[in-house]
Amino acid sequence: AVAAEIRAGIEVDGVLHLGLAAGRTGISLERIARNRYSMTEPDNSGRLQESGSIVLGGPETLETTAPLHILDEEFEHDTDVQWSDDAGGYVCNETIYRTLNELQASSGPALPAIFVHLPPESEVPLEDQVAAVIRIANCLVTRPRYEVAAALLFDDQGRILSCRRPNGDAWGGWWEFPGGKINPGEDAPVALLRELEEELRISPEPKEKVAHIDYDYDDRSVSLQIWNCGSIEPTSITLVEHDSARWLSRDELLQVKWLPADLPIIEKWSQEGLPEPSLLR
């Protein structure tokens, strides 16, 4: 029905499909829709489609058009919400596949669309599910602005720490300064210390803001502050949210793929030199 409405030129800001998944223990954001049926028993309408394509000649898989980065940021600390690459072989997968296929073929404006599987109320309380769905809907239709604090950390050779986001993250494989979002009413140094304790299990003192940049991504805006936190012992860090870390000299700064918001700062330091860590010891 939604696919037909898209074909007819419906004017909406986004498409959010919801379905119950009795076997799930959390709220699943479906990243992928597959062009296949794989029913092992009749669906709720009594239909049994054991195999075959949903759309003849259609792509084998289609990815959600929802803003992955925004959803990642919104739910990064919510253990009840996770990404899924398996929407099943029944009507849920069929519904989102038909929607995404129609959006791909449409000449209208790009629309964010996603399917969300909801678990039984015994797994996640209903009020928590409702709150999560509202947040997901907001992510689809609003352009957020994030205040972010990140750390400039040195080792005893004057190299700086860069951390790589893991596979599965919307920016998997990209490198960044450790840090994160500043919560409403939170001071940047307090937010940064909280993030460093969560991400690296360290508690250095942010003493001086050494860089600030406003950057517009396609789906969000970021106001990024870099705080010089002085020197630490490299063996003191424990990677919790990243899959790799590198200590980079000035000459090595551009050897990794930095996040777009971080890159202008790195390029400047590559040309002009790094800030001085010894002043903060």
Q: What pLDDT does residue 280 have?
A: 42
Q: List the domain boundaries for the chain.
A: 2-141, 145-280
* Cα 165 to Cα 175: distance, rounded to the nearest angstrom: 6
Place of tokens 């001086």: 208
Please identify which of the residues 74, 92, 94, 242 carries the catalytic annotation: 92
The average pLDDT across 15-22 equals: 95
CB 19 within 8 A of CB 134: no
* Cα 58 to Cα 103: distance, rounded to the nearest angstrom: 12
Examine the pLDDT at 11 and tell me if it is beyond 50. yes
CA 21 to mean position of chain CA atoms: 23
**CATH for 145-280, among 2.60.40.10, 3.40.190.290, 3.90.79.10, 3.10.450.50?**
3.90.79.10
Active-site annotation holds for 229: no
Place of tokens 């250095």: 204
* Cα 183 to Cα 148: distance, rounded to the nearest angstrom: 9
Q: What pLDDT does residue 100 have?
A: 96
Report pLDDT digits (tens) over 109-163: 789 999 999 999 999 999 999 999 999 999 999 888 999 999 999 999 999 999 9
% the chain with pLDDT above 90: 74
**CATH for 2-141, among 3.40.640.10, 3.40.30.10, 3.40.630.20, 2.60.120.10?**
3.40.630.20
Find residue 137's DSSP bridge partners.
none
Active-site annotation holds for 94: no
Q: What radius of gyration do the chain's Cα atoms show?
A: 22
The average pLDDT across 248-264 equals: 98
- Selection from 204, 78, 206, 212 nearest residue 135 by Cα: 78
18 secondary structure, DSSP code: E
Examine the pLDDT at 247 and tell me if it is beyond 90. yes
- What do you get for the CA distance between the two ends of the chain, in Å? 64
Report pLDDT digits (tens) over 33-47: 999 988 777 777 777
Q: What pLDDT does residue 143 have?
A: 87
- Selection from 75, 91, 141 nearest residue 113 by Cα: 141
Please identify which of the residues 30, 74, 94, 195 carries the catalytic annotation: 30
CB 37 within 8 A of CB 52: yes
CB 80 within 8 A of CB 132: yes
The average pLDDT across 94-116 equals: 90
Q: Are strands 145-154 and 179-181 parallel, antiparallel or unpaired?
A: antiparallel
Amino acid in the structure at residue 12: V
Q: What pLDDT does residue 273 have?
A: 95
Please identify which of the residues 73, 117, 176, 199 carries the catalytic annotation: 117
Active-site annotation holds for 92: yes
